[in-house]
Amino acid sequence: MSRKKILLTDDVELLRGLERTFFRRRNFHLLVAQNGLQALEMARADVPDLVFVDLAMEDLPGDACCRLLKSDPLLASIPVVIVAPDGSGETYARCYRAGCDEVIRRPIDRQHLVAVTLRILDVTSRATSRARASLRVFCGRNQDELSAGTTLTLGTGGALIVAVPLLPVNSDVFLQFVLPGTGRLIACRGRVVWVSRRMPGIQAVVPQDEMGVEFLGLTPDDKEEIRAYLEREGFDSCS
């Protein structure tokens, strides 16, 4: 079995979190770049299965590095995790707008880091990346209280949604939407992982109220339908 390659920037906290777990015993290989630019070079030379970048890198911020990775046809399918200095809505929005697959905030929780890494590496196909896709979606705390919204990005793992009203972080949510051209109704539970509200009168990083939702309990058939729809329609990966 080939070794899974994880590329990360030189980060003491992140390295410690990975090396002090069972990763060394699970056939993983860590590739360490000194900065963001070197991370790009290493990714092109030795295509990894997963990339960690730091949002606060001085030479090339993590979101900019992620955009470059996702805009390269040869690297676009590689899952990217951005390590963020805080958990504010603006920070999460900045990361997900860059097209990343996951955000981990500091201080890094080792158990969460391990869980995220294993979950992503179990599914490394192109379908795991979110793509820019605008669909009508209905969401709410339950099936009887649904409000209309619009997806900005969509993937088999979740969606970025413009919705009114926004729900608090960690809220359970029910979603349903129809895939155009197929008539297939996708209905599943989800969890709000971050929200970002626009500040009236201020040109903010986020121009509208948005929330990121992680899909829970999506069936394998529904995942395949979403993947096939995005490929069929030719939606681009977030960049």
Is residue 239 included in any domain, yes or no? no
Regarding whether 155 and 179 lie in a shared domain, the answer is yes
Report the distance separating Cα 2 and Cα 208, nearest Å.
44
Look at residues 124, 153, 175 and tell me which one is the last residue of a structural domain. Answer: 124
Report the distance separating Cα 48 and Cα 1, nearest Å.
15
Q: Which pLDDT score, from 0 to 100, does residue 130 have?
A: 60
Is residue 175 included in any domain, yes or no? yes
Q: Which pLDDT score, from 0 to 100, does residue 200 have?
A: 42
Regarding whether 185 and 227 lie in a shared domain, the answer is yes
Regarding whether 84 and 190 lie in a shared domain, the answer is no
Q: Which pLDDT score, from 0 to 100, does residue 22 have?
A: 54
> Considering only CA atoms, which of 148, 133, 44, 63 is closest in space to residue 101?
63
Regarding whether 175 and 104 lie in a shared domain, the answer is no
Regarding whether 186 and 155 lie in a shared domain, the answer is yes
Regarding whether 57 and 36 lie in a shared domain, the answer is yes
Q: Which pLDDT score, from 0 to 100, does residue 108 have?
A: 83
Q: Which pLDDT score, from 0 to 100, does residue 117 have?
A: 82
Regarding whether 82 and 189 lie in a shared domain, the answer is no
Count of the separate structural domains present in the chain: 2
Q: Determine how β-strand 4-9 pairs with β-strand 50-54.
A: parallel
Q: 32-64, pLDDT tens digit by residue? A: 999 999 999 999 999 999 999 999 998 999 999
* CATH code for the domain of 90: 3.40.50.2300
Range of the domain at 28: 4-124
Look at residues 81, 98, 124 and tell me which one is the last residue of a structural domain. Answer: 124
Q: Which pLDDT score, from 0 to 100, does residue 6 have?
A: 92
Report the distance separating Cα 66 and Cα 94, nearest Å.
11
Report the distance separating Cα 148 and Cα 1, nearest Å.
46
Regarding whether 118 and 9 lie in a shared domain, the answer is yes
Overall size of the chain counted in residues = 239
pTM of the model: 0.54
Tell which phi-psi region holds residue 71, choosing left (phi > 0), alpha (psi between -120 and 50) or beta.
alpha
Judge contact between 163 and 139, C-beta under 8 A. Answer: yes
Regarding whether 183 and 106 lie in a shared domain, the answer is no
Instruction: Give 237's DSSP letter.
Output: B
Provide the token pair at 11. Answer: 């980060």
Q: What is the mean pLDDT of each run of 10 residues along the chain (239 residues)?
A: 82 69 67 93 95 93 96 92 90 92 86 76 50 86 91 85 82 93 92 66 49 86 89 61
Q: Which pLDDT score, from 0 to 100, does residue 153 have?
A: 82
Is residue 211 included in any domain, yes or no? yes
Residue 163 burial (CB count, 10 A): 24
* CATH code for the domain of 198: 2.40.10.220
Report the distance separating Cα 50 and Cα 30, nearest Å.
10
Q: Determine how β-strand 136-140 pairs with β-strand 147-154.
A: antiparallel
Regarding whether 150 and 93 lie in a shared domain, the answer is no
Look at residues 104, 124, 144 and tell me which one is the last residue of a structural domain. Answer: 124
